[in-house]
């Protein structure tokens, strides 16, 4: 990506026509497309140019002249500055409607199709839901203050925020206290970030530090942890250097309807929204229509988030994942929950897998895949070879889901159902789920 050159100030009045897939208003001016942050369809706004290219420009709203009836007052006082949220000026219902439209557009434009049945959107709490996050930390010498929070839009600076409305309250309500504690450290200018991991039973913060902590520094953090009822871990280098400041703790979340408790490490990938995750699991199980004779494969299984609930209702399930640590945790979670009909294997699913035990000569009549944003185009080719007749695809990127849908249709699958799930309210992130049958 080229460097953004410094632009001369430019202000323009714009009529907003539609909403982009990143949640920005779209306008046209002088044969250019203008993407306007903070604008909604139907509005007339004054906007300040922020970026320019030959065919498009980016701008930020400075004044709304004619407001959309859908516009609401953002809950957060730094909305528009902080890069953590992009949708607080739109109600939760309108947010999920927009995300549903983006998914529909992706299917139509890239796969030339749409599902036979649109699923009802899944939503839960709109605020205080986020349990995993990476927060920036910065000592600002001019203010003699340590800031803790998300970074500003289009900037490396930390937003000056007292609280965060989307973070779980155990962290979101204590940003100032965390900043005050770090400010007392001898290495306050050498702490660049905090990694958040909030379980159902404990809250962990991993403090990244570029210089060693003194004994006094450690006591400052322990006192802060006691006051806020959190646990500090520290990280001096790569992920292998993450360790508890005082003692390690168990982190867990649950699938209560399926009598499952999942244990995880602070560095493990877990869904950020536990309540939505529970709804998502229930929907996936319903779409799979599991019975006691099913052989199921769960690709990109992580620590068994879907695999273990599936095991409660299928004959046998295999989970495959590329991260060896997650596979170990998945096996431990199976033992923890007395699940004996689940097996887990490590494999890079973007490379040749024909020689693996779980693939060679095996047949699975049902499958679930939950890939990263890049999708699973290499994997969908394998599904027919494995005998999969019913597939649930969970996606965090409508574009790659639609691309993979086109390929699935080409090799003989039908898109039966699809819908969106609001895993990240107040943001333009779209989580979706789709059912395919052979």
DSSP labels for 164-197?
-SSB-HHHHT-HHHHHHHHHTSTTGGG--EEEEE
- Residue 390 exposure: Cα atoms within 13 Å on the Cβ side: 14
Q: Where are the beta strands (DSSP E) in 305-413?
A: 316-321, 342-346, 366-369, 390-395
Q: Return the higher-pLDDT residue of 232 and 361.
A: 232
CATH 3.40.50.150 in the chain: give the residue spans: 96-125+273-437
Classify residue 370 as left (phi > 0), alpha (psi -120 to 50) or beta.
beta
Q: Write the pLDDT tens digit of every residue in 156-188.
A: 899 999 999 999 999 999 999 999 999 999 999
Q: What is the four-CA torsion angle of 294, 298, 303, 306, rounded to 10 degrees?
A: -60
CA 320 to chain centre: 21
Q: At residue 3, does pLDDT exceed 70?
A: no
Rounded percentage of the chain residues whose pLDDT exceeds 90: 91
Apex 154 CA angle, 153 and 156, nearest 5: 90
Q: Write the pLDDT tens digit of every residue in 214-253.
A: 999 999 999 999 999 999 999 999 999 999 999 899 999 9
- The fourth-level CATH superfamily of domain 11-71 is Nucleic acid-binding proteins (2.40.50.140)
Q: Which residues of 31-45 are buried (b: 16+ CB within 10 A; e: fewer)?
A: eeebbbbbbbebbbb
Q: Are 405 and 107 in contact (CB under 8 A)?
A: yes
Instruction: Please name which of 164, 250, 150 lies closest in space to residue 201, comparing C-alpha atoms.
Output: 250
Concerning whether 85 is annotated as a catalytic residue, the answer is: no
CATH architecture for segment(s) 96-125+273-437: 3-Layer(aba) Sandwich (3.40)
- Residue 154 exposure: Cα atoms within 13 Å on the Cβ side: 12
Residue tagged active-site, from 85, 224, 301, 396: 396
The CATH number of the domain covering residues in 132-244: 2.40.50.1070
Cα gap 107→404, rounded to integer Å: 10
CATH 2.40.50.140 in the chain: give the residue spans: 11-71
CB atoms within 10 A of CB 26: 17
What are the backbone dihedrals phi and psi of residue 315, each rounded to the nearest 5 degrees, phi first?
-70, -45
Q: Which residues touch 39 (CB under 8 Å, ≥6 apart)?
A: 14, 16, 24, 25, 27, 45, 47, 61, 64
pTM recorded for the entire structure: 0.94
CATH 2.40.50.1070 in the chain: give the residue spans: 132-244
Q: Write the pLDDT tens digit of every residue in 42-99.
A: 999 999 998 899 899 999 999 999 999 999 999 999 998 999 999 999 999 999 999 9
Q: Quick one: which H or E segment has residue 333?
A: helix 324-336
């Amino acid at each position: 990506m080229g460097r953004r050159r410094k632009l001369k100030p430019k202000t323009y009045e714009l009529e907003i026509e539609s909403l982009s897939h990143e949640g920005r208003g779209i306008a046209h001016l002088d044969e250019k497309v203008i993407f306007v942050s903070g604008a909604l369809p139907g509005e007339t706004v004054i906007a300040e140019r922020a970026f320019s290219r030959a065919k498009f420009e980016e701008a930020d709203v400075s004044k709304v002249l004619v407001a959309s009836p859908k516009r609401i007052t953002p809950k957060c006082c730094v909305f528009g500055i902080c890069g953590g949220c992009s949708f607080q000026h739109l109600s939760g219902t309108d947010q999920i409607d927009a995300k549903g439209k983006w998914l529909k557009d992706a299917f139509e434009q890239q796969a030339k199709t749409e599902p036979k049945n649109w699923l009802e959107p899944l939503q839960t709490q709109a605020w205080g839901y986020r349990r995993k996050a990476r927060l920036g930390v910065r000592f600002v010498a001019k203010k003699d203050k340590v800031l803790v929070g998300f970074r500003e839009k289009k900037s490396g600076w930390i937003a000056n925020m007292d609280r965060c409305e989307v973070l779980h309250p155990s962290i979101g309500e204590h940003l100032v206290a965390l900043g005050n504690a770090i400010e007392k450290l001898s290495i306050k200018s050498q702490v660049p970030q905090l990694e958040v991991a909030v379980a159902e039973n404990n809250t962990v913060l991993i403090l990244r530090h570029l210089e060693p902590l003194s004994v006094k520094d450690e006591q400052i953090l322990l006192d802060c942890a006691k006051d806020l009822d959190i646990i500090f871990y520290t990280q001096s280098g790569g992920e292998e250097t993450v360790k508890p400041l005082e003692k390690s703790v168990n982190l867990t979340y649950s699938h209560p309807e399926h009598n499952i408790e999942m244990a995880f490490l602070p560095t493990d990938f877990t869904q950020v929204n536990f309540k939505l995750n529970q709804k998502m699991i229930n929907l996936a199980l319903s779409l799979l229509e599991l019975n006691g004779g099913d052989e199921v494969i769960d690709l990109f299984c992580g620590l068994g988030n879907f695999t273990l609930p599936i095991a409660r209702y299928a004959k046998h399930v295999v989970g495959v994942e590329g991260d060896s640590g997650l596979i170990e945790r998945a096996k431990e979670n199976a033992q923890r929950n007395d699940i004996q009909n689940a097996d887990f294997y490590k494999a890079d699913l973007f490379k040749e897998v024909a020689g693996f035990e779980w693939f060679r000569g095996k047949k699975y009549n049902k499958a679930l895949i939950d890939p990263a944003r890049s999708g699973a185009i290499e994997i969908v080719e394998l599904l027919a070879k494995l005998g999969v007749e019913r597939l649930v695809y969970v996606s965090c990127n409508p574009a790659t889901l639609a691309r993979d849908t086109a390929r699935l249709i080409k090799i003989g699958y039908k898109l039966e159902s699809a819908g969106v799930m609001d895993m990240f309210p107040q943001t333009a992130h779209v989580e979706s789920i789709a059912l395919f049958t052979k």
